[in-house]
Amino acid sequence: MVQQPTMTMGQKIPLTIKRLGINGEGIGYYKRNVVFVKGALPGEEVYVELTKINHNFAEAKVLKIQKKSKARQIPPCPVYEECGGCQLQHMKYSYQLTAKRDVIVQALNKYVKSEAKNIQIRQTIGMDDPWHYRNKSQFQVRQPGKHVLAGLYAANSHKLLNIDECLVQNPMTTKITNATKKVIDDLQIPIYDGRSMKGIIRTIVVRVGIQTGEVQLVLITTRKNFAKKELLVEKLKQIDSSIVSIVQNINADKTSLIFGEQSITLTGKDTIHEELGELAFDLSARAFFQLNPQQTVHLYDQIKNASALTGKETVVDAYCGVGTIGLWLAKDAKEVRGMDIIPESIHDAKQNAKKHRFKHTQYVTGTAEKWLDIWQKEGFVPDVLTVDPPRTGLAPSLIKTILQVKPKRVVYTSCNPSTLAKDLQELTKIYHVEYIQPMDMFPQTSHVESVSLLTLK
């Protein structure tokens, strides 16, 4: 007998939302099948229409909220529903913090059920003011009609939303972007068209030094030279005295990547200066830097607390980037070593260490597993290994190496609860998870960060 499907496209069903998913959607169950509902909140009773059917789950849209959650609020952003850049503006902030902790609990129960009940998961550290925190904006530029638009694409579409104010962006990035958009419009400089590949201006990127007030304005263009370029630069210089660097980046490819390989400083400095606690950094147009510097200080302090350094310990900073985490720990460590697969990052890490006069740091290009193995053979095993991997989590080969090298403490900074939990499945063979500290680095979004302390059993 052929089993009939329990759900069909367009079917309308009642649901009770049990919890929040990793992408900020509500999760309910219909005849033992998981249903993801965008915009629904835990505790709500909703009437929905099924919009996508998969083997063991479905997606649905809300037709009516029959019982509202007390966590629900009216999103303050006028383009929130269309934009997709934020996922949780319809949820009061205190509830966002609780929900983000719960996403970690769910992931642990799924992947490390036997360990989960013994792991201390602390309350999420949030922000006093969870708005206007992003220090960098990257707004696409298009001209569908008479005037130049700059903003983000609507979720799952090719429609550009013109955004005059973004509530999670630092106000200075908004001011500079809007003024730049007007200058480009007034000078009638041709705008890039993604279909025909014609036009000049593709993207406006603005980064502000939160502690220093310095601003860098980057124009992504399809070619180096174009009409009225000098006049454009003169007009952009007049926007605001805080602009200390105007850079042109050339990207002629048909790609979703923002930056091309070539950057030219048009006027001012090559970099802007930014400070993070006691550390200072010079940031070039393409350099990676945390998007929420205020909360980054709290994140790095949590990493320092977990590392519990007394001045006698050796530290390895895997996935070190430009060296920020290792340098944050360097003052209290006997020695810091770091590695990254991107040569430019290692160059910057060395420069940053030199600038801060640290003589006990060493940075090398390559994977963490390669260098941990080499160093172990030379008799060096770190007391503390700190890892801050991408969303995909730790490489299986690195997990294997960690289990073999056995650093006394592993401090795992995660931006994805699912891959963290999967990695803990392996690491808990020899490590005890002392605690997990959730951190809200991106208020109003579904992103969940955390710092976990692992000690050898």
Q: Return the active site residues.
A: 415
Q: At what angle do helices 229-237 and 171-187 cross, to 10 degrees?
A: 150
**DSSP 8-class letter at 146:** S
Task: Give the SS3 label for residue 444.
Answer: coil
Using the structure block, give the residue that is written with the tokens 């955004």. 163
- Cα–Cα dist 13/49, whole Å: 7
Name the β-bridge partners of 363. 338
- Cα–Cα dist 97/442, whole Å: 11
Tokens, residue 256: 């979703």
Cβ proximity of 173 and 237 under 8 Å: no
Q: E-assigned strands of 12-164?
A: 12-20, 26-30, 33-37, 45-53, 57-67, 120-121, 136-142, 149-153, 160-162
- Using DSSP bridges, classify how beta strands 120-121 and 431-439 pair: parallel, antiparallel or unpaired: parallel
Residue 150's alpha-carbon distances to 29, 99, 178, 229, in angstroms, are 40, 32, 8, 19
- Cα–Cα dist 361/138, whole Å: 34
Please give the backbone phi and psi of residue 87, each rounded to the nearest 5 degrees, phi first.
Answer: -120, -10
- Cα–Cα dist 39/34, whole Å: 16
N-term to C-term CA, the chain: 53
